[in-house]
Structure formats: C-alpha cells, structure tokens
Amino acid sequence: MHPTIFEQNPPAPSIVDQSLAGTKLACFWIEDVADTAVRYPHVPGSLNADDVVVGGGYAGLWTAIKLKTEHPDRRVVLLEAKRIGGAASGRNGGFCEASITHGEPNAESRWPDDVEQLRRMGYENLDAMEAFITEHGLDVDFERTGQLSVANEPYQVEWLGESPDPLVETLDAKAVQQRIASPTFLGGDFSPHENANLHPAKLAQELARHAASIGVEIFEHSRVITLAGDEGEPLRFETEHGVVTGQRAALCTNVFPSLLKRYVFHTVPVYDYVLMTEPLSDEQLASIGWEGREGLADMANQFHYSRLTKDNRILWGGYDAIYYAGGRIREAYEDREQSYRRLANHFFTTFPQLAGLKFTHRWAGVIDTSTRFCAFFGQGYGGRVQYVAGFTGLGVGATHFAADVLVDRLEGRITERTELAMVREVPLPFPPEPLASIGVNITRWSLDRADHNHGKRNVLLKTLDALGLGFDS
C-alpha cells in the first residue's frame, strides 16, 4: 500500500488542535438564517387538499411550487416533519451541479446511450434554476462559478482530460495553481458551466417564501405517520396533529423511511462531515488565489469538496462517509471527533499557508444513498402517489429536475424526462441488516485500498461496477 499525500505531508498536531479549539457543533448555514427564517404552523386538525407534498426540502418545495403554478385553483398542502430545510437541504455544501446523474462517469457506466442527452438536460436544468432565482429575486447567494476537479496524486493526473464534455478544460499543474494555490494540486479539469455555489439554507427558506406567496399551504412539525387510500377514495395522511386528505401526492422524504413500503430498502443513511472556517483576511485569501471562486473537489474515491462562502469562509468536507450499523438516523452520530480531526489534517496539508486559521463550525448531514448513486423514481396507488429519493449527496440541482418529473407523472404527461431510462428504471435495493452493514463497510474498505494503491480497484469493486452497484464517499 502507498501512503496518500495527506499521510506523507501531515501538518503539525498543534496546528490542528488550534484550528479546532472552540469549534461549534452547529450547521453554519442554518444558524446563519435563524434570525430571519419564517416559522410555519403545524396542521391545525383535519383538512382536505387537492395535492399533498410530503417533505419540506428542495424536492418537496420545488414540486409544490410547480403544482401550484400549473394549477392555481387547486389546494396544494406541504407537510414537513420538523422544519423547512432542516435536514439535507439546509446542511449540504451548497454546490448546485448541473449533473442529474451524480457525475458523467456514473451516466456513462449505467446509460451509455443517453450520456449526451443527460448532459444537455442537466445544463438546461441548472439554467432553468438560475432563471427562476433571478426572475423571482430569491436571495440565495447564487454564483455560477464552475467546478474544478483536481488531481492530488500522480496516477490521478492520468485521468485528466477523459471527459467527453467539450466544455471541460484540462489544466496542467501550473494552470491549476494559478486558479487555486495548493502544493497538492498536480493538475485539474475545469468545467465552467457545471456548478453554481449558493447558500443552501437560504435557498430552502426562499423557496418556501415563494411557495407561500403563490398559495401553497406549508405546515411544519407535521410528521406523516401513515399513508392509506382505497381505490376511488382520497389519500389519507395521518399526521401528529390531524388527518390530511388529497387526491394526489408527491413523496419527497429523502433519507427518511419511505411511506411506500416497497422502497424502504432502496436507500441507506450515510453520514457526511463538514468544517467551516472563520472568514479569511485579504492576505490569507491572496495566498491561495481562488479568484474564480470555483467549486472544488479532488479525484480520489474518498474525496474532499470545498468552496468559498459570500464572506470568504472556506467550507471543507467529505472524505469520511460513515454508515452506522442498523441504518439509523441519530443526532449523536453528527459529532464524530475522528472525522473532524481528519478533515482538519487534510485541510492544512492542502493549504499549509493558512496555518493559524480557525474553524468556527462543524456539522454532519445524512445522505440518502442509493445503489446507483443518483435519484430514482417510484410510484404507488395507481400512480396517484409519486416518489423520489436516493440523490446520494448531489441533490441541490437534481431536485429541481426531479420535481419536473414528479409533476409530469402526476399529470400523466409523457415527456422527454419521463421517458429517460434513469427515470423509468428502479435500482436494486440494499440488502437488510446485517448484510447491509457488512456490504457497505467492505466496499468502503475496498475504496480506501484503491486510494492507497494508485487507484487500482479490487475484484469486489470491479464486480460492483459491472453490476451497476456501488458506494462512494
């Protein structure tokens, strides 16, 4: 096994200790909007709706907006178990990528005949999001920055330039250093239109504000306990505070258990960890460049992602992706010291010129991982209920596309979107415990081995690749 650059050139332990001293266990984004966030009531008792949307994250909010916009006369009700944007939609890195398939290599391996179509539709989707944000004046710190993927190891340099996307520019070490100065960057691929950076909690709040302004009724702290509905009868959603009925429904519950039992094993919860620095001084920012404010990621299996905020903090996350036995979602899993220390170590290997910089926030989020790494679509009750989940950590942009699919299917429309193989096909589920824990952890071990063996994948990973299955950090 070969040590990675992070193991070869670790920072002094004192630098890491100092950077983490006083770090707050809280999501920076959610804390940043706490004083301005609108509070919505819980369900006041029994009520009747035309369309019911379950889930107050991006997918649910976009779907509710599109349903109400298409049918202003219909009563659209959105039910959120806790708070709008309180889960993945408010806790992510704030990368809004064009890809709707979790990267083009994923599309190439699963739907090779559709790659160009999927790429085009991904760009169109991101363009449509940008147009909507601009048209409606949503204050979400939106910046169309592009995406920079960097090679930290010599074998990764050999992977550069493989993208069939004609917009991708391959950079040598000198060119990549001119964009972002780091001694670990040996080259990179820059996609100028692939990514936008935004404030994720602001996006959730602003979508909710717009939805409410056009007549969507939003209810927080209204967890749906059961879904039922006989043929020819309204759908019944039993909540903690009353029963909501509706003719049609969209289920956008992300990592939380599906209300359609057939999809309960189609996602597993994987915890992702993040650090946020204090704002950089002008001198600190000058030392790393980053004038293009690109979204940043490296090319390892266990990869890091990073970006600048509006006030020039650096968000630094990824690498560790932890699945806890039993597939449970618990607040206690969010404070994992070894993950935060590892992230801080890797940060100062990447940016040694920033020694002395402190992290102000640390937090974790739960990723709704599917076996194909990107969203899948399901349905029930004769098509009256549509379901989407499995965004696998890349849902900020893909949720907008998913909402279009859900509305098309609820309306019974056959469109280019609904005819895609990725929309029509449902991936294999994960096995039940304890097989899920065994499989995920062996796969993570194999990915780590590949990162320590010049990227060479073992028999297990090659088999999973061939079957269209897998797991990614």
Q: Is residue 47 part of a domain?
A: yes
Same domain, 222 and 323: no
Shared domain for 186 and 46, answered yes or no, is no
Q: Left if phi > 0, otherwise alpha if psi is -120 to 50, otherwise beta: which for 55?
A: left
Q: Using one digit for the tens of pLDDT, what is the confidence trace for 199-245?
A: 999 999 999 999 999 999 999 999 999 999 988 899 999 999 999 99
pLDDT number for residue 342 = 98
Q: How many whole angstroms separate alpha carbon 294 and alpha carbon 145?
A: 5
Dump pLDDT digits (tens) for 245-278: 999 999 999 999 999 999 999 999 999 999 999 9
261 in any annotated domain: yes
pLDDT score of 469 more than 70: no
- When pLDDT is cut at 50, 70 and 90, the band that residue 473 belongs to is very low
Taking residue 23's Cβ as centre, other Cβ atoms within 10 Å add up to 18
In a domain, 137, yes or no: yes
pLDDT digits (tens, 9 = 90+) for 418-441: 999 999 999 999 999 999 999 888
Residues 231 and 103 in one domain: yes
Q: Is the pLDDT of residue 470 over 90?
A: no
Distance of alpha carbon 407 from alpha carbon 220, whole angstroms: 22
CB 449 within 8 A of CB 458: yes
Tens digit of pLDDT for each residue in 368-378? 999 999 999 99
| Pair 138, 283 in one domain | no
Asked which of 335, 367, 399 is the last residue of a domain, the reply is 367
Q: Do 321 and 296 share a structural domain?
A: yes
Cα 391 to Cα 96: distance, rounded to the nearest angstrom? 13
Q: Can you read off the two tokens belonging to residue 57?
A: 């994250």
Domain that holds residue 188: 5-32+147-192+272-367
Q: Are residues 128 and 217 located together in one domain of the fold?
A: yes
Average pLDDT, rounded, for the chain: 95
pLDDT for 235 equals 98
Q: What is the CATH number of the domain that holds 81?
A: 3.50.50.60
Q: What pLDDT, on a 0 to 100 scale, did the predictor assign at position 315?
A: 98
For residue 193, pLDDT over 70 is answered with yes
What's CA 122's distance to the chain center, in Å?
15
Q: Are residues 48 and 129 in the same domain?
A: yes
pLDDT digits (tens, 9 = 90+) for 342-385: 999 999 999 999 999 999 999 999 999 999 999 999 999 999 99
Give the count of domains, the chain.
Answer: 2
* Owner of token pair 């030392």: 287
Tell me how far apart the alpha carbons of residues 463 and 473 are, in angstroms, rounded to a whole number: 18
303, pLDDT greater than 70? yes
**CATH code of residue 288:** 3.30.9.10
pLDDT of residue 468: 67
The answer to whether residue 464 sits within a structural domain is: no
pLDDT of residue 471 exceeding 60: no
My answer on whether 352 and 415 are in the same domain is no
Mean pLDDT of 98-103: 94
Q: For the packed helices 58-70 and 395-411, what is the interaxial angle rounded to 10 degrees?
A: 40
pLDDT digits (tens, 9 = 90+) for 291-301: 999 999 999 99
Task: Mark which of 316, 338, 367 sits at the end of a domain.
Answer: 367
Q: Is the pLDDT of residue 15 over 80?
A: yes
Phi, psi of 62 (to 5 degrees): -60, -40
